[in-house]
Amino acid sequence: MDVSNASGYDGTTVAADACFVAKHATGRSKVVVTEATNPQVRQVVKTYAPGFGLEVVEVPHRGG
């Protein structure tokens, strides 16, 4: 099948799924998340990351 659709449950799980897709698209195993990201989104990404073989790096929010 050339095309498929995978509906997202909510924004938090979609963010985690996006990290998984990015890993496979780039071959990288680290994802950088800013502390300005919603805390619930950050927590879900950190929860999913080990299962995806990802390391989450949190960086501080500076201004803006």
CA dist., res. 26 & res. 21, Å (int): 9
Inside any domain, residue 47: yes
State pTM to two decimals.
0.81
Give backbone dihedrals phi and psi of 52, rounded to 5 degrees, phi first: -90, -5
Q: Per-residue pLDDT for 59 more than 90?
A: yes
Inside any domain, residue 4: no
Per-residue pLDDT reduced to its tens digit, 13-47: 899 999 999 999 999 999 999 999 999 999 999 99
Whole domain around residue 40: which residue ranges?
A: 30-64
DSSP secondary structure letters along 23-55: HHHH---EEEEETTS-HHHHHHHHHHHHHHT-E
pLDDT recorded at residue 62:
87
Per-residue pLDDT reduced to its tens digit, 6-15: 777 788 889 9
Q: What is the domain count for the chain?
A: 1
Inside any domain, residue 56: yes
Q: Which two tokens stand for residue 58?
A: 């949190």
Burial of 49 (0-12, 13-18, 19+ CB in 10 A): buried
Inside any domain, residue 63: yes
